[in-house]
Amino acid sequence: MEVFTSVQSLRQFLRQQVLQQKSIGLIPTMGALHEGHISLVEASRTDNDVTVCSIFVNPTQFNNPEDLLKYPRTLDADCTMLENAGCSAVFAPSVEEMYPEQTVLKINFGALESVMEGASRPGHFNGVGVIVSKLFNMVQPDRAYFGQKDLQQVSVVKRLVSDLSFDLDLVICPTVRETDGLAMSSRNRRLSDSERSIAPHIYRILSNSKEDLLAGKRVDEVLARAKNEFASINAFTLDYYEVIDIKTLLPINQIGKAGTNAICVAAFLGPVRLIDNVVF
């Protein structure tokens, strides 16, 4: 497995691959890799000749300086996992390499970023839009892999690809969970033992809400029950809990056809902010 830190060396490698007619899959990550990331690598290996995983903790998508500072960085362990997973190349640039000068471009996703993560983390999706565009231009992949766990990011990136005519296919992969239901996340490493033992309630509450909605309970009742449950567990501070239409990302009062609804949650456990969702 090749490890590149400069855009130039990455491009040189990729030019060789393209000359040999090899297809390229890209997995953008911020590192501190887990089985969720590896599932994207596996999907890419199935579809492509060459799999490139980028590892870059992108400062411009963090609106909370402490979250950026404390974001886990484990490059050596990440490279071992990627090598074992059969990844072809890692792109792990420095901040200076990615941003030789401060970007002046601002990407506004309109209504898609006025809710949930966009509302709670102002500027977050501008940062995501810019870094994902840069990576798409640097790697020029045939396919790019993203996790359903970041449901709003998926919507925003779909829109980015369509609005800017990026010539690639997006592949969206299901959320990989721990055996107790907790969605795998790099931020889980920051949980204390007691926070970690409480964290699976997030998925339990989501799953109960989904069942209640499918059984015909009213959205407002289901929301009230879930919010009460979070309130009853002291360690949680709920940021949002929404039943939405996955196309518009807007809250709904009544669920629609199968596959068009989602319940999305963001909650703090101590200082760590976790997100999750279920689509149904």
| Catalytic center residues | 37
Nearer to ligand AMP by Cβ, of 30 and 115: the residue is: 30
Q: Residues 38, 79, 131, 173: which binds ligand AMP (CB under 6 A)?
A: 173
Q: Cα dihedral sign for 259, 175, 169, 118? A: positive
Residue 128-157 contact track with ligand AMP, rule CB under 6 A, x = bound: ------------------xx-xx-------
Q: Residues 25, 36, 93, 141: which binds ligand AMP (CB under 6 A)?
A: 36
Shortest spacing between CB 151 and ligand AMP, in angstroms: 9
Shortest spacing between CB 1 and ligand AMP, in angstroms: 18
210 interacts with ligand AMP by CB under 6 A: no
β-strand partners of 29: 55
Instruction: Report CA dihedral (252, 257, 259, 262) to the nearest 10 degrees.
Output: 20
Q: Residues 10, 14, 37, 90: which binds ligand AMP (CB under 6 A)?
A: 37
44 interacts with ligand AMP by CB under 6 A: no
Residues 21, 134 contacting (CB under 8 angstroms): no
Residue 245-264 contact track with ligand AMP, rule CB under 6 A, x = bound: --------------------
Continuous segment of H or E residues that includes residue 13: helix 7-19
184 interacts with ligand AMP by CB under 6 A: yes
39 interacts with ligand AMP by CB under 6 A: yes
The whole-angstrom separation of Cα 257 and Cα 245 is 10
Residue listed under structure tokens 């889980």:
188
Q: Which amino acid is at 20?
A: Q
- Fill in the DSSP letter of residue 164: T
Q: Which amino acid is at 26?
A: L
51 interacts with ligand AMP by CB under 6 A: no
For strands 2-4 and 89-91, give the pairing. Answer: parallel
54 interacts with ligand AMP by CB under 6 A: no
Torsional class of 13: left (φ above 0), alpha (ψ -120 to 50), beta (otherwise): alpha
Q: Which residues bind ligand AMP (CB under 6 A)?
A: 29-30, 36-37, 39-40, 146-147, 149-150, 173, 175-176, 183-186
